[in-house]
């Protein structure tokens, strides 16, 4: 459900285009008439083709964008070439052609970077973020969206800042990083105080309500979802109305108001069926089945359960068919190549036999018989090897899937512990123990991130330390909501889980300590984090331009629980820690590899 919502958020202009479809159709027809009936110079022809690509249907838009590309290449106009690739990428995405959209968008981004067209770079980074999230690659999606947001921040583009904060918030919600999601949604609402955009407000408040529903803050969730539904019903956005009404129905059922909740679920089901939203029909049918089971109306529960399974199986079957077709295509290609190679060998043999005919028919027969026996023997051996290979591959895949599922469950359990600590810290607001609970929450999230990366990395048992540290530190900066400039210089290094967990906790402690205490008086806070490998040593440095650390004991080491934890973990890793106070604080960690 969330992945489709985020497409609407990431390209708010899509909503506007759908409302003004008739007007855009008229523009497209008018431009096509102009192109066909008037003689234009080359640059005008390119721009007209790009305008048709913008206002026409996706298939039509792709056709005219490709024409514009050929003309722009002939004209050698890099800006128009880049714009053509951008429109090609957009239309491929509307048509569901992810790979083609990626290729075109990346070509556009490279040209925009060469031309130093900053605003265009932001738009392409946003588009690439959408494509990654469409394909469930949330880590890369968040990276591209963050790049886009930083550019719009520099440009002071309030509308896109608000929209991209909704996108980032929804991405964090989909991966259960709820604190970061709430920060992003609230930022969007804050920016929208000056914009007064009903669309931005509805999406931000609606998705904030979905987060509060997950946290069982039902009163707040109900109020926020209601506001979103009212606005979107006036704007005419059926997909989001179905989503938010379904969430509202769930909230009402949790409150004990089952009849009202069922009514909203049925309304959202009607909308989803009318619009052909398979994923929503599947989700809503599942909710209705659970509700009727809870009130012992098993006849209705069974009917909705069947609907749920039908739509779930249709989605799964679609994926299976796609995968089977892909494997079949690869097999056909491989088979053709084998046949070609075999024919080439046969031709060579036939030529050799032709040259040898003068030596007698007997030699030819013996040679043919020998080759036939060799071929049969080779075929038999290959069949045995292929069977053994398939058995080994199946066993390896089973083991890898079990390991991936184990890491997934560990991650979910750690995330639940983090949520419990977060709830407890809110209840103890103002109490001295609240800060300790928050610190514990960040430590648990650092552990959770390790297992999350393990089950996302295609069965790999090692973790890319640079990616892990980058994601960990960016999450911490977002959670603390600090305006800190983060400079990362991270070499590509892979470590196993036994090294990644204590390293993650160490970096978590040192970065958290800096965010909490270092920048109280600093107006331009900066934090530099570097990781490099030198011979058999792993070196990590964390430097800030804050106030430095005053509480150093007689041994030259900070005296706090967090730093005691760091020193304890370093003993496990056979490492050492050095703290330098010089216009801020610099932590230098050295670990034998």
Q: What is the CATH number of the domain that holds 105?
A: 1.25.40.10
Instruction: Name residues whose C-beta falls within 8 Å of residue 5's C-beta, 6 or more positions apart in sequence.
Output: 170, 207, 239, 240, 243
Question: What was the pLDDT predicted at 404?
Answer: 53
Task: Write the CA distances from 78 to 101, 123, 153, 166, 509, integer angstroms.
Answer: 19, 17, 26, 32, 48
Distance, C-alpha 385 to centroid of its chain: 39
Q: Which residues of the chain have pLDDT under 70?
A: 1-25, 94-96, 134, 277, 313-344, 347, 354, 358, 392, 394-461, 550-559, 593
Q: Edge-to-edge strands of the sheet including 526-534?
A: 485-490, 526-534, 537-544, 585-592, 575-581
CB atoms within 10 A of CB 238: 16
**101 occurs within a structural domain:** yes
Q: At what angle do helices 2-10 and 12-19 cross, to 10 degrees?
A: 80
Q: CA–CA separation, 133 vs 147, rounded Å?
A: 15
Q: CB-side exposure of 536: number of CA atoms within 13 Å?
A: 2
481 in Cβ contact with 183 (< 8 Å): yes
- Of 87, 122, 155, the position where a domain reaches its end is 155
Range of the domain at 143: 1-155
546 in Cβ contact with 513 (< 8 Å): no
Q: What pLDDT, in 10s, does the model give residues 291-346? A: 888 888 888 888 888 888 887 765 444 443 343 334 333 434 443 554 556 666 77
- DSSP classification of residue 521: S
Angle at 226 between CA 223 and CA 228, to 5 degrees: 115
**148 occurs within a structural domain:** yes
**117 occurs within a structural domain:** yes
**27 occurs within a structural domain:** yes
Q: How many domains does the chain have?
A: 2
233 in Cβ contact with 441 (< 8 Å): no
**Which of 250, 259, 251 has the alpha carbon at shortest distance from 290?**
250
**Which of 467, 529, 540, 530 has the alpha carbon at shortest distance from 503?**
540
Q: How big is the chain, counted in residues?
A: 593
- DSSP classification of residue 358: G
Q: What would you report as the CA-atom Rg of the chain, rounded to the nearest whole angstrom? A: 30
**Domain with 491 in it: what CATH number?**
3.30.565.10
**Which of 15, 38, 7 has the alpha carbon at shortest distance from 130?**
7
**Which of 306, 261, 311 has the alpha carbon at shortest distance from 282?**
311
Task: Write the CA distances from 426 to 172, 212, 430, integer angstroms.
Answer: 20, 14, 9
- Of 102, 121, 155, the position where a domain reaches its end is 155
Q: CA–CA separation, 381 vs 375, rounded Å?
A: 10
Question: What was the pLDDT predicted at 524?
Answer: 87
443 in Cβ contact with 505 (< 8 Å): yes
3-state class (DSSP) for residue 484: coil
What tokens does 186 get? 């609230």
Angle at 432 between CA 427 and CA 438, to 5 degrees: 60
**470 occurs within a structural domain:** yes
CB atoms within 10 A of CB 23: 11
First vs last Cα of the chain: how many Å apart? 44
**Which of 581, 582, 557, 580 has the alpha carbon at shortest distance from 570?**
557
Q: 556-560 — which CB contacts under 8 Å span 24+ positions? A: 560/513
CB atoms within 10 A of CB 289: 21
- Of 110, 130, 155, the position where a domain reaches its end is 155
Instruction: Name residues whose C-beta falls within 8 Å of residue 320's C-beta, 6 or more positions apart in sequence.
Output: none
**503 occurs within a structural domain:** yes
104 in Cβ contact with 70 (< 8 Å): no
Find tokens 């599922």 and name the residue: 405
**453 occurs within a structural domain:** no
What tokens does 446 get? 């650092």
**305 occurs within a structural domain:** no
Judge if pTM exceeds 0.85. no
CB atoms within 10 A of CB 444: 22
Task: Write the CA distances from 378 to 371, 385, 386, integer angstroms.
Answer: 10, 10, 12
DSSP for 381-425? Answer: HHHHHHHHHHHHHHHHHHHHHHHHHHHHHHHHHHHHHHHHHHHHH
């Amino acid at each position: 459900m969330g992945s489709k919502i985020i497409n609407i958020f990431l390209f708010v202009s899509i909503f506007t285009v759908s409302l003004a479809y008739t007007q855009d159709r008229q523009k497209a027809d008018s431009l096509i008439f102009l192109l066909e009936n008037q003689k234009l110079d080359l640059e005008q022809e390119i721009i007209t083709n790009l305008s048709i690509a913008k206002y026409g249907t996706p298939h039509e838009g792709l056709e005219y964008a490709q024409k514009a590309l050929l003309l722009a290449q002939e004209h050698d106009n890099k800006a128009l070439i880049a714009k053509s690739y951008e429109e090609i990428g957009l239309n491929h995405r509307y048509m569901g052609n992810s790979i083609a959209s990626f290729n075109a968008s990346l070509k556009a981004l490279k040209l925009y970077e060469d031309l130093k067209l900053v605003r265009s770079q932001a738009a392409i980074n946003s588009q690439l973020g959408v494509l990654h999230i469409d394909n469930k690659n949330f880590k890369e999606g968040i990276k591209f969206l963050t790049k886009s947001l930083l550019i719009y921040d520099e440009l002071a583009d309030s509308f896109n800042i608000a929209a991209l904060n909704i996108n980032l918030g929804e991405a964090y919600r989909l991966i259960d990083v709820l604190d970061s999601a709430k920060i992003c949604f609230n930022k969007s609402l804050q920016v929208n105080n000056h914009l007064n955009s009903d669309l931005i407000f509805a999406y931000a408040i609606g998705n904030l309500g979905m987060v509060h529903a997950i946290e069982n803050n039902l009163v707040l969730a109900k109020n926020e979802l209601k506001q979103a539904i009212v606005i979107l019903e006036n704007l005419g956005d059926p997909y989001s109305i179905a989503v938010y009404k379904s969430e509202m129905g769930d909230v009402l059922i949790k409150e004990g108001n089952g009849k009202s909740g069922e009514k909203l679920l049925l309304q959202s089901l009607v909308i989803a069926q009318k619009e052909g939203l398979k994923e929503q029909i599947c989700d809503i049918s599942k909710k209705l089945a659970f509700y009727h089971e809870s009130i012992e109306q098993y006849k209705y529960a069974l009917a909705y359960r069947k609907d749920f399974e039908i739509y779930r199986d249709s989605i799964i079957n679609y994926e299976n068919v796609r995968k089977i077709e892909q494997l079949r295509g690869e097999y056909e290609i491989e088979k053709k190549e084998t046949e070609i190679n075999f024919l080439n060998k046969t031709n060579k043999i036939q030529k050799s036999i032709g040259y040898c005919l003068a030596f007698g028919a007997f030699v030819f027969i013996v040679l043919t018989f020998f080759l036939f026996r060799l071929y049969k023997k080779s075929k038999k051996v290959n069949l045995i090897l292929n069977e053994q290979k398939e058995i080994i591959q199946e066993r390896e895949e089973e083991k890898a899937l079990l390991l991936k599922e184990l890491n997934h469950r560990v991650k979910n359990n750690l995330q639940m512990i983090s949520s419990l600590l977060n709830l407890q810290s809110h209840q103890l607001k103002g109490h001295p123990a609240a800060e300790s609970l928050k610190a514990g929450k960040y430590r648990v999230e650092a552990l959770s991130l390790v297992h999350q990366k393990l089950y996302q990395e295609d069965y790999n048992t090692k973790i890319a330390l640079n990616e892990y540290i980058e994601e960990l530190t960016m999450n911490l900066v977002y959670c603390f909501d600090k305006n800190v400039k983060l400079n990362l210089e991270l070499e590509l290094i892979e470590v196993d889980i036994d090294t990644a967990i204590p390293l993650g906790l160490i970096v978590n402690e040192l970065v958290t300590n800096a965010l909490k205490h270092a920048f109280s008086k600093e107006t331009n806070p900066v934090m530099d984090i570097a990781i490099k490998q030198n011979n058999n040593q792993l070196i990590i440095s964390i430097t800030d331009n804050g106030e430095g650390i005053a509480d150093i004991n007689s041994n030259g080491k900070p005296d706090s629980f967090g730093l005691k934890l760091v020193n304890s973990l370093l003993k496990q890793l056979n490492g050492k820690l050095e703290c330098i106070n010089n216009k801020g604080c610099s932590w230098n960690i050295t670990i034998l590899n």
